Amino acid sequence: MSLLVKPAPSVESLRRDPGAPHRHLDWSLLGLSVGLAVVGLAMIFSATKGSGPTPYTGMVARQMMALLLGLAVMGALAFIDYRRLREWAPLFYAGALGLLGAVLVLGQNVKGAQAWFAVGGFQLQPSEPAKLAIIVVLAAYLAAHRDTLGAGHLVAALALAAVPMALILLQPDLGTMLVFAVVALTLLAVAGVRARYLAALVLLGVIGTVVVLNSDLLAQYQRDRLLVFIERSSDRDSGLAESYNVDQSETAISLGGLTGRGWGNGPQTQEGRVPEQQTDFIFTVVGEELGFIGASVVLGMFLALALRIWRVAQLAKDDFGALLCCGVLAMLVFQVFENVGMSMRIMPVTGIPLPFLSYGGSSLLTSCAGIGIVLSVHMHRFR
Amino acid sequence: MSDEQPALRVALVGIVVISLFAALFARLYYLQVLRTTTVEEVFGTARYRDISYQGLRGRILDRNGAVLVDNRESIVVTVDRRQFDALDDKEGLKLRLARALNDAGFPTKVRDITARIEDPRYDPLKPVPIAEDVSPQLESYLLERLHEFPTVDVVRTEVRSYPQGKLAAHLIGYTGSINSEELEARAKDPKGYEPGDEIGKAGVERIFESELRAKPGVRTVEVDATEREVGTRSDVPAVPGADLQLTIDVQLQKAVETLLEQTLEQARLQKKRRETDPPLRAPAGAVVVLDAETSEVLALASYPTYDPSEFIGGISEYRYDELTAPGSFQPFTDRAISTPYAPGSTFKPFTAIAALAKGLITPGDVIVDNGSYELEDCTDTCVFTNAGNTRYGRVDLERSLVVSSDVYYYRIGEAFYRQRGVVGDDALQQTARSFGFGTATGIQLPGEQEGLVGDPALKAARNADNPEAYPYGEWFTGDTVIMAIGQGEMQATPLQLANAYASLVNGGALHAPSIAKALLDHDTGTVTREYGVRTLATVHLPPEIRDPILDGLTGVVADEEGTANPAFAGFPLELVPVAGKTGTAEVDGKADTALFAAVAPANDPKYVVVAVMEESGFASETAAPLVRKIMEHLPEVRPYFEQRAAAPSTTTGSTSTTGPASADDGAEAGGAAAGDAEDDGSAGSEEPTVAATTTTSPPPATTAVDPPTTTAAPDPPATEPTAAPTTAAAVNAAPADQQGATFAPALLALATAGGAAVRRRARRGGVARRPRVPQGRA
């Protein structure tokens, strides 16, 4: 080891503290995150370059800026001791609710959802950072009442999650609301809520879904999407609007085959036949152009990322850290599963981005920030 | 984590994570490795829709380029079905639309609109037509109020137009919306048909459908799941159909149709000979004018007829029922090709040819016609008589045709029967078939019938099939005897008859009559395909057989006792000699069918004209005059009558002579002997002063003429040095640009003179003192 032979004075002084956070930066988490984001850039380029002689690069450039910003946020959160977040939790929560409330009044309506702020040419989707806020708040609350966790705490935790979920449903954004639900459920489970409570909760969820589906709470398109998923097998070519996206997406992925059509050469992608192929349906580009091998590598990176976060959760110094990691893990894994699953017709269509890959600054920033928190838990596990 | 349980729960989270990813991998493997998709599969089943649109259908022209069928704009009210389905107030819209249409004079029921909108045969991507051919007033009314009529639009499309009205309706036919059988039959047509497309239903519109139809344009659009257009992928413009040039001559066709109708009307006014005779209803008839050399159809008329424009946008059921009612005498039937008639005496030349060929007679054989003929060794119907029991006395072959002696042909018929052991039992039928009788001619028109040439085999087969309707399976002497005069088991369509005469006079070439001359490029008018002469067979017709027949046929018109001679009084036979044969065919329970088959000029056959008039009585009083009037419109003859009409009224002569009369005719006729002009004029017709008037007229001032017709006039043939000095000088003296104008009087003078020569020659010889066809013409 060259460091042992010729230690620099500054390094020398640092070596004295083996528990120093910077010595425990998890390079694999950082590398996987950046790697996925770079794959995302390549896919966004392919999906948006167009067929003209000069490829369009506007979206890639914006995403690259978002990535740099995201890495900065990730770094900042990594070096901040995650325990400080516990103190800021009420602030995060209040800010998130404020933004979610404001967007319903001041926001922009894009494709039927009142979910975006337009800020100087950029769009901000407050429901994305709100995911992190709810993770922090629930983790803090559940960790604080870890030993005395009862029904009252359960109700309180559910109420904490329900308020932002209700605001998001008003936009309406069913997918993001589902992320909240999954995150909350995971945190409750990990925190030690009794299995029978959880079972009751799941049952309530199912009944609630049925009621909501049969009420007017959901927009018609949302109901159609869910019904398409349910009726898919018998109704492949019914011409339903909602089955169109999935037909095209599934077809594109099938077209990829083992080795893919090649980057920038996917016929479905280049014809622009998969709607939202740079955002919600970015995985179709991966599947079609990179094939089974490429898509497996991408999914493998996600799996490695998830397992690494899971490992960090196990290594965490305290319950709060472990819960934070599980929250981020639940958020990312559910999004990956739902997003990739809907592209392949094993999940219903909901507008959820694929973390790190989908075009969209808010989503990328949120994913980076989530990894930043996990990095912080990892780095600060000794002190 | 401090205690065990949370650690276990975290571990469980890991298992859930791995399970979820396993599911994703499994699905990915299934989609990309187990169930791969090829690009062809995907793009074959892509969400693209081809929207075809119609191009211009080819026009139909006459032989000189005159337009018979064109296209014109029609204003169509449409409803966009896809948007209509999303409307809240569907019934209200239908009601308002029906009201607007009714107010504008287009009777429409709400039910009609519903039926159109719900008709599954229309392309779902295209607006459904609700009302066709509406007025521009309604168009602007609706377009100004489109907000009151959501999903309604008013568009302009092309439909057929008929600049000549009803003219040649049977030839042209009509178009209509394609029906399901037609759609099925043309499923693989390269010009792709879809519901609602126009297709030829009758006439050449039907036969030349593939040529006339435009190749539809195809706009390929991409649609989303709700079949909304989201983009255009490609747009291949429509290619117009080819213009079809027919062989008919509009002017001649017009004359033929008018004269046919007029003559039938006159025939209805005839008095019956006997009170017990069937009524002379003269309800229908047909005329065929063929080019004798090529069998090109120059005119083809069938009466009654219909107006093809009634079919634009669909004919109403009521109107259709009216047209097809019995009292309308089937106007849709093209009698010229679809109705077999007993040819009667017009068949006699073919009987004679058969008898000459088999050596049963020679032209010089003379029989004595006592008005009736009794079969030898006969038990049942044994006595056959001439029409009206007329006795013709001594009759040879030529005179048998001139006076139309039935007895002469009864004898031939019996000879065929008696000699059947030597000549075969269908020798007469063989000859008839060799001239195309009994077989469809193959003209490019739908619905042609093949006529009938009965023989012993047919009669036996009929009897075997249906003994009750046909009690006799045996072929009797009488069957051959009446077939010899074109009755009984002998039937021919007017076109068959005309084509047989064409073959007879042109030396034996049997062609399939043609109606199509060429296909022309829609844009440039250049010929892209020429429909040539289709020769089917050549009949062996040596001069020793053909000449006496032609002499006889010439005598029918030219000889004073010829059956058609009165009909041709005043006709310039000297200019254009005519040969022909009348036929008055008996029909059970109805008045006789009158037929006349004629050839002109007899010495150089160019035209065959056949007229058939149902229930009209004697041919010599009906069909023959009809043909004569038609022949007045032949290019060779028309100038004569135009001049005659113009000359008495004005001495400056303002009639233009557009007839492309052959220069040869003029020159030869003129070369005969100008000095005889006056003599013949006074002798031959009711217009004794024609020659004098015209030869002394100054050249007409107008000049719309065919220059080539004048070129030969100043150059009389050397064989006739006494060419008319007056006319030759007149032509020579005329300034170059007026030479054409001088043609008419010159031709007239020459023509009348020539006619005299023909007549004089006729007087010199022949058993029955009638002219020989001037074949050699030395």
Average pLDDT by consecutive 10-residue portion of chain A (383 residues)? 50 63 87 96 90 80 94 94 92 94 85 77 86 94 85 89 90 86 91 84 83 70 61 43 76 90 84 83 94 96 95 91 94 95 88 92 95 94 80
Residue B677: its pLDDT value, please?
Answer: 38
Residue A16: its pLDDT value, please?
Answer: 63
Residue B661: its pLDDT value, please?
Answer: 40
Residues of A within 8 A of B47 (CB-CB) are 244, 273
Chain A contact present for B523, CB below 8 A: no
Task: Please give, rounded to a whole number of angstroms, the shortest distance from the CA of B113 to a CA of chain A.
Answer: 27
Identify each DSSP E strand in B425-487 by its residue range.
452-453
Residues of B within 8 A of A269 (CB-CB) are none
Q: In angstroms, rounded to a whole number, what is the distance separating the alpha carbons of residues B650 and B545?
A: 49
Q: Provide, rounded to the nearest whole percent, the portion of chain B with pLDDT above 70.
A: 79
pLDDT band at B397 (very low <50, low <70, confident <90, very high): very high
CB contact at 8 A, B397 and B556: no
Residues of B within 8 A of A307 (CB-CB) are 14, 17-18
Residue B773: its pLDDT value, please?
Answer: 41
Number of CB pairs, chain A paired with chain B, less than 8 A apart: 119
Position B109, amino acid: K
Residue B47: its pLDDT value, please?
Answer: 66
Q: In angstroms, rounded to a whole number, what is the distance separating the alpha carbons of residues B306 and A375?
A: 93
CB contact at 8 A, B447 and B203: no
Distance from CA of residue B616 to its chain's centroid?
A: 22
* Surface-to-core class of residue B636, CB atoms within 10 Å of its CB (0-12 exposed, 13-18 middle, 19+ buried): buried
Comparing CB atoms, the residue among A192, A244, A268 nearest residue B225 is A244
Comparing CB atoms, the residue among A292, A302, A326 nearest residue B13 is A326
Query: Is residue B600 within a helix (H) or strand (E), and if so which, with residue range?
Result: strand B590-600
- pLDDT tens, position by position, B89-133: 888 889 999 999 998 888 888 888 888 888 776 666 678 888 888
Phi, then psi, of B601 in degrees rounded to 5: -70, 145
Instruction: Return the higher-pLDDT residue of B732 and B82.
Output: B82
Q: What are the residues facing B611 on neighbouring strands?
A: B287, B596
pLDDT band at B410 (very low <50, low <70, confident <90, very high): very high
Residue B718: its pLDDT value, please?
Answer: 41
- pLDDT tens, position by position, B335-374: 999 999 999 999 999 999 999 999 999 999 999 999 899 8
| Average predicted confidence (pLDDT) for chain B | 81
Supply angle C-alpha A50, A52, A57, rounded to 5. Answer: 50
Whether residue B32 and residue A250 make contact (CB cut-off 8 A), yes or no, is no
Residue B660: its pLDDT value, please?
Answer: 42
Residue A356: its pLDDT value, please?
Answer: 96
pLDDT band at B145 (very low <50, low <70, confident <90, very high): confident
Q: In angstroms, rounded to a whole number, what is the distance separating the alpha carbons of residues B291 and B606?
A: 6
Query: Is residue B512 within a helix (H) or strand (E), and if so which, with residue range?
Result: strand B509-512
User: Interface pTM (ipTM) of the complex?
Assistant: 0.91
Interface probe, candidates B3, B8, B10, chain A, greatest A C-beta count within 10 A: B10
* Model pTM score: 0.57
Instruction: Return the higher-pLDDT residue of B269 and B377.
Output: B269
Residue B651: its pLDDT value, please?
Answer: 45
Residue A99: its pLDDT value, please?
Answer: 92
Instruction: Return the higher-pLDDT residue of B673 and B578.
Output: B578
> What integer is the mean pLDDT of B419-429?
91
Residue B527: its pLDDT value, please?
Answer: 93
Residue in A closest to B40 by C-alpha: A255
pLDDT band at B674 (very low <50, low <70, confident <90, very high): very low
- pLDDT tens, position by position, B166-203: 999 999 998 888 888 888 888 888 888 887 788 999 99
What is the token pair recorded at A101?
A: 């409330």
Instruction: Return the higher-pLDDT residue of B251 and A272.
Output: B251
Distance from CA of residue B661 to its chain's centroid?
A: 24
Whether residue B42 and residue A267 make contact (CB cut-off 8 A), yes or no, is yes
Greatest mean pLDDT range, B123-127, B240-244, B468-472: B240-244
Instruction: Return the higher-pLDDT residue of B447 and B127.
Output: B447
Residue B732: its pLDDT value, please?
Answer: 42
Residues of A within 8 A of B21 (CB-CB) are 299, 302-303, 306, 337
Whether residue A333 and residue B14 make contact (CB cut-off 8 A), yes or no, is no
- pLDDT tens, position by position, B370-393: 989 988 877 777 888 888 888 999
Residue A106: its pLDDT value, please?
Answer: 86
Residue B770: its pLDDT value, please?
Answer: 41
Q: Provide, rounded to the nearest whole percent, the portion of chain B with pLDDT above 90.
A: 48
Task: Please give, rounded to a whole number of angstroms, the shortest distance from the CA of A256 to a CA of chain B.
Answer: 6
Whether residue A329 and residue B13 make contact (CB cut-off 8 A), yes or no, is yes
Instruction: Return the higher-pLDDT residue of B51 and A363.
Output: A363
Residue B141: its pLDDT value, please?
Answer: 87
Q: What residues contact B495, with CB distance under 8 A and at least 6 apart?
A: B288, B297, B300, B336, B337, B441, B443, B448, B513, B610
Q: In angstroms, rounded to a whole number, what is the distance separating the alpha carbons of residues B633 and B252?
A: 6
